[in-house]
Amino acid sequence: MDNVTIENSTSQNNNMSKGGAIYNYVDADLVVKNSRFLNNVASYYGGAIYNSQDSSVTIENSEFDNNHADSSFNIDYPYKSAGAVYNDVYGVLNIDNSVFTDNVAENGGAIVNRGTTDIGSSQFKANRAFKDSGSEYYDEGFGGAISNFADLTISKTNFTTNTAPTDGGISNTGPNSIIMVSDSIFIDNTAKGKTWASSGTIDNTGTATITNSVFSNNRAIADNGESDNGAICNNANMTITNSKFNVNTANKGGAIVNQNFGETISELNISQSTFNGNVADNDGGAIHSTASLNIDNSKFIANSANNGGGITVNDFGNVLDDLSLYNNNATVSGGGISLNNSSHTHIGHDIVKSNYAKYGGGISINGGSDNLINDGSIAYNEANYGSGLFISNANNVEFIREDIFDNIASVDGGGVYINNSDETNFIDSNINANKACSGDGGGIWTNSIFNNCDLATAIVENTPKDINDKSYMTPNKPKNPIYW
C-alpha cells in the first residue's frame, strides 16, 4: 500500500527495531490524524514512527507520549535516535498542531530529521536526549527535542522543559543543515551534564534563521564543569531578528555564545532584538562572542556577568550599531560592553546608560587596536575606575562625536580611564559633568602618551579636575586617525 491514512487511533506498547509502531516504507505516503502514540519502543530509530527514504509522513492533531529509542534493546548500537519520529534521508515530514511529551532517545528526544521537515503550531514538552544516564556516558546525548541534519522549518511552536547534555531543545548539526524558526517560544529548556553542558535551546553548526521568537528561563548546567550559553550556541552562520531573550543563565554567555568551530569561521547577525535579565557566571551576561558579531537596533537591559555585563567581544571586525545598554552589571569589567583583545570593532549610535562595573562601568577595552566608537552617548554609569570608559593596553581607539557625561567613579577617571594605551583620540566629542569621588581625573585619567583631543572636543565641568595632573593628553588634532 503506497498511500495509507490512520485516523482516530491509538498505538501503544509496540516494540520494533525501526519504527516502534509504524515503519513507513520507501516511496510510501502516510497520513496520521487525530491519533495517539503511547509507550512505543524502537531499538534503533523512531520510537513511534520511522519514515524511510523517498517517503512522506503527514501528522495532524496527534499526540506522542513516552515513546523511546531505547539502548536496552540493542546495547551494541552507538546512538538510538528519535524517541518519537525518525525522518530518513530524502524523506518528507509535515507536522501540524501536534504534541510531543516525555519522549526519550540518545539523539533527538522526540524527532530526528535527515530529510525535509516542516513543523507548525505544535508543542514539545519534557523530551530528553541522553546516553546511559548515571553512567560514564552521562555527558553524551544531543537535541533534547529535535536533532536536525538537513532542512527543518518550525513556526508557531512551543518548546518547554526539554533536556539534553548538549542542545536541550534543538541540535542543528553539520555544515549542510538548515533550520528556520519563526514565531516560536522556548521556555525552561536545559542543557545538563556532569562535566560539560552547552546550549539550553539551540546549537547550530549549519545555517540558522530565527525570527519573532522568545527565549526565556533556559539554562546550561554542569555539575562539575563548564556550562556555555543558556539559550543558543552559534558555531557557523546564524541570523536573529525581532526576538527576545529573558533570564537565560550559564557559566559563559547567559543567552548566546558565538564562536568559531574547527575550521569554520562563524558569523552571528542580530537585529531588532531585546536581551533582558540574562546571567553568566563568567563572561557575557547576554552574549559572549569570539567570532564575527554584528548587532543592529537592539536593547540590552539588566544583564549581568563577571566581565561584560551585557556583551563580551573577543574577535576582529565586529559591528555593533544602534545599541541601547541600560542597567547592566559586571563584577569586574565592562558593565555594558567588554572588548577583550578585539580589533577593528565599530560601536556606533550607542546609548550606554546606568551600567556598573569595577573597571569601565559603561565600556571596557582591554587590549586590541583600531577600534572606533562614534555618534552615541555614555552617561550615568558607575565604576571604581573609568565609569564611562576604561581603556587598558589598547592602541588606536578613536571616539568621534561621542558624549560622555554624568558618570561617577568612586576612585579615578569619572568619564574616562586610560592605562598604558597609545593613540586614544577624541574628535568632536564632549566629556563633561563627570566625577571622580576620591581620586583624580574627573573627566579623563591617563598615564599614557600620544593621546589626543582635537580642538572641537570639550572637556568641561568635571570634578575634581577635567584631566589628571599626570596626564599626557594634548589638545591637538590626532596624528594617527583610524581609517575604516
| pLDDT tens column, 49-95 | 999 999 999 999 999 999 999 754 444 444 569 999 999 999 999 99
Could you tell me the residue range of the domain that residue 457 belongs to? 273-484
Share of the chain above pLDDT 90, in %: 75
pLDDT of residue 18: 93
Inside any domain, residue 352 = yes
Is residue 162 within 8 Å of residue 187, measured between CB atoms? no
- Give yes or no for residue 166 having a pLDDT over 70: yes
Inside any domain, residue 111 = no
pLDDT of residue 74: 43
Mean pLDDT, the chain, whole residue set: 90
Share of the chain above pLDDT 70, in %: 91
Average pLDDT over residues 198-207: 90
Is residue 194 within 8 Å of residue 166, measured between CB atoms? no
Inside any domain, residue 46 = no
pLDDT of residue 317: 83
Q: Which residue from 161, 167, 232 is spatially nearest to 196, judged by alpha carbons?
A: 167
User: 284 falls in which pLDDT band (50, 70, 90)?
Assistant: very high
Give the 3-state secondary structure of residue 55.
coil
Segment among 25-29, 108-112, 349-353 with least mean pLDDT: 25-29
Is residue 115 within 8 Å of residue 86, measured between CB atoms? no
- Give yes or no for residue 404 having a pLDDT over 60: yes
Average pLDDT over residues 268-296: 97
User: Which set of grid coordinates corresponds to residue 414?
Assistant: 569619572
Q: How far is 197 from 224, CA to CA, in rounded Å?
A: 10
Q: What is the CA radius of gyration of the chain?
A: 26
Inside any domain, residue 373 = yes
Average pLDDT over residues 393-404: 95
Inside any domain, residue 342 = yes
pLDDT of residue 474: 53
Q: Which of residues 74 and 308 earns the better pLDDT score?
A: 308
Q: How far is 402 from 272, CA to CA, in rounded Å?
A: 23
Average pLDDT over residues 236-256: 96
Inside any domain, residue 56 = no
Q: How far is 131 from 193, CA to CA, in rounded Å?
A: 11
Q: Which of residues 130 and 57 earns the better pLDDT score?
A: 57
pLDDT of residue 247: 98
Q: How far is 70 from 421, CA to CA, in rounded Å?
A: 59
Q: Which residue from 124, 129, 236 is spatially nearest to 178, judged by alpha carbons?
A: 236
Q: Which of residues 378 and 450 earns the better pLDDT score?
A: 378
Q: How far is 287 from 275, CA to CA, in rounded Å?
A: 9
Number of domains in the chain: 1
- Give yes or no for residue 195 having a pLDDT over 70: no
pLDDT of residue 230: 81
10 Å Cβ neighbour count for 395? 19
Give the 3-state secondary structure of residue 72.
helix
User: 5 falls in which pLDDT band (50, 70, 90)?
Assistant: very high
Segment among 186-200, 286-300, 411-425 with least mean pLDDT: 186-200
Residue 408 forms beta bridges with which residues?
382, 435
Is residue 103 within 8 Å of residue 79, measured between CB atoms? no
Inside any domain, residue 44 = no
Is residue 253 within 8 Å of residue 223, measured between CB atoms? no
Is residue 273 within 8 Å of residue 242, measured between CB atoms? yes
Q: How far is 115 from 347, CA to CA, in rounded Å?
A: 41
Segment among 125-139, 235-249, 413-427 with least mean pLDDT: 125-139
Q: Which residue from 169, 171, 198 is spatially nearest to 186, judged by alpha carbons?
A: 169
Inside any domain, residue 387 = yes
